[in-house]
Structure 1
Amino acid sequence: MTAGARLDLVVTAATEPVPGVRCLRLAAAGGGELPGFVPGSHLVVDCGGRPNAYSLTSDGLEPTEYAISVLLVEDGAGGSRWAHERLDVGARVSARPPRSAFPPVARARRHLLVAGGIGVTPVVSHLRAARRRGQDARVLYLHRAGRGAHAADVRELAGDRAELFTDRRAFTARLDEALADQPLGAHLYLCGPAGLTDRVLAAAAARGWPASRVHTERFGPDALGPGDPFTVTLTRVGTTVAVPAGGSLLEALERAGVDVRSQCRRGVCGECRLPVTGGQPLHRDLFLSEEAKAAGDSLMPCVSRAAGPHLEVPL
């Protein structure tokens, strides 16, 4: 299936297991098997003209249905409310094929999975694959009382290797113990709000975890942070544009009179992709594959920045 292909899906089930989280099952409108995916992948769904990325919680091996969970964000851009109000059983929805954003490391001796709130969604698909493959996966899951989306799934899939917390202090104490007591070759995966992610990263660094064994997926309006200022040279016209901290490259280009095609402006649809001919991108999108990010020859200007003081793009 090509990168620009679309999937025509139909909602086969819609439930709200905890307040504010809508769990949807989606099948191909014409029936049959759907494209497979690796654990940690997301599905970009057209939510009333606004693309939103949702982690897949189902098994990616020969799927006939996809499962996603949508957290209602009262002050969000509208996609989650649309999904809660419009996606009932029988509703049709368009989506892009699954993309890998947060895959497990096949050679890992142990997978230590840490989740906060709705950040548990990619962890569920990791657990499904780990159980099928007989891999060692441990989970620490922090959630508010009565708001543990997929808590039952986590317990079922991980058994006594799952530890669930509603008390942040108890979670923090157990996290420090877990980070200190892992075998050589263990990999850490974490997904949750920015504050939680930053605290876990700091704790892992203090315990000597190398960056190569720590994997994150961030979400939410505060997930990306303001970033450092940098400049970008438009090589075709010889103009240099300044991008401030807290502002996007896309916005800076638009202020400079450069017309860049865009749609979601959140790094999920791929519409604004730009080639890079100089400098190193700091990728923050959910569209490019890991291989494309490693190549460093393109970026999504709506969310991504420069890893250094300067970039060059052929505009």
Structure 2
Amino acid sequence: MKSTHEESEIDLLVADRRVAADGVVALTLRHPAGEELPAWEPGAHVDLILTEDLTRQYSLCGDPADRSSWQIAVLQESDGRGGSAYVHDKLNPGTTVRVRGPRNHFPLEPADRYLFIAGGIGITPLLPMLEAATAAGAEWQLVYGGRTAASMAFVADLRAAHGDDRVVLRPQDEHGLLDLEALLGAPAGDTLVYCCGPGPLLDAVEERCSSWPSGALHTERFTPKEQGEPVLSGAFEVELAQSGLTLTVPPDRSILEVVEDAGVQVLSSCQEGTCGTCETAVLGGQVDHRDSLLTDEEKAANDTMFVCVSRAACPKLVLDL
């Protein structure tokens, strides 16, 4: 049995590789036979299936109108879990890599004005958003921070395309941390804020935007948010509507693990609530949302969940599996 999630997987050729900054490589991926790649919109990411046990998500940072190739950029992380090391060590021009997606949990909503805030490699999903905002005639500003100027990818491209008025560069060794109070201290009713970067930056931006209108802030995280204790400390049941099974989920196991052990396949990847691969429709019950993707409004709707991390806030959930 399979879940309701069907996504294409294709083997793509690494057509080009260049150094985008210190520790960052940019890869261009193409279909070996020259076929068009699936369409995508700004904010989308793809899964790179590097080995049987190693799948990682990377934002698409090229031009959505170019169906002949996809671009990603990958930061080499010395204390990472192996994905970035694999990309840097093994993905060279001429090699192939299996790719799944694209998928978008960070879409660009229409607005008259945008404030984009990037930290380090978090610039990648914002790049196509800048082009889309420009094409839509919206006003925008990008504030882009990084450890050093040399570590900040795509700086020359950004300056050439948009100039210094719209693109504010703030390497930390020269300017310190981003002045979020100056950027976000006064809520702007006609402005949407899009932020991607390391967890501490996102936490700080969320705190500053707590007084902004609901829905003004949009974030994407590479690492999961800190979560408190589950709503339920004990076991709960999940009824799988398609499969006709009712399963017990103990406190020390995820819904995903229990469901897969019962022979029901659910497409999954990150196992930490950041990629969105295992999204599952909720048909009944209340969810204890423990992901780093859904907005407060989406959580309140209680119609979807990520079964790798989220749990039940009631004795029984009914899922569309």
Aligned-partner Cα distance in 2 for 1:272–1:58: 26
Deviations for 1:272-292, whole angstroms, at most 9, x for unmatched residues? 857552113526377x9xxx9
**2:84 aligned with 1:83:** no
Aligned-residue offset at 1:144: 0.8
Deviations for 1:59-100, whole angstroms, at most 9, x for unmatched residues? 112421110011122232222211111110011111123111
Between the two proteins, the alignment pairs up a number of residues equal to: 299
TM-score normalised to the size of structure 2? Answer: 0.79
CA 1:309–1:148: 2 relative to 1, 3 Å: farther
CA 1:276–1:299: 2 relative to 1, 3 Å: farther
Q: Give the share of equivalent positions with the same residue, in percent.
A: 33
Aligned-partner Cα distance in 1 for 2:33–2:216: 41
Check conservation: 1:55, 1:68, Cα contact below 8 A: yes
**2:196 aligned with 1:191:** yes
CA 1:161–1:225: 2 relative to 1, 3 Å: same
Check conservation: 1:229, 1:243, Cα contact below 8 A: no
Deviations for 1:120-165, whole angstroms, at most 9, x for unmatched residues? 1111121122233332221111101121122223323432111111
CA 1:65–1:86: 2 relative to 1, 3 Å: same
Quote the residue 2:74 is aligned against. Answer: 70
Deviations for 1:139-194, whole angstroms, at most 9, x for unmatched residues? 11110112112222332343211111123865533x32232467531101111111
**2:45 aligned with 1:38:** no
Aligned-partner Cα distance in 2 for 1:213–1:188: 6
Quote the residue 2:228 is aligned against. Answer: 227
What RMSD in Å do the two structures reach over aligned CA positions?
3.3
User: For 1:125-164, what aligned pairs fall within 5 Å after superposition?
Assistant: 125-145=128-148, 146-159=150-163, 160-164=165-169
Deviations for 1:173-231, whole angstroms, at most 9, x for unmatched residues? 3x3223246753110111111111111111122xx2123111111113xx321333133
- Give the counterpart of 2:125 among 114, 122, 126: 122
Aligned-partner Cα distance in 1 for 2:114–2:311: 30
Aligned-partner Cα distance in 2 for 1:167–1:17: 18
TM-score normalised to the size of structure 1? Answer: 0.81
Aligned-partner Cα distance in 2 for 1:86–1:138: 36
Letter in 1 for 2:286: G
Quote the residue 1:300 is aligned against. Answer: 306
Q: Which consecutive residues of structure 2, in runs of 5 or more, have no partner in the other structure?
A: none
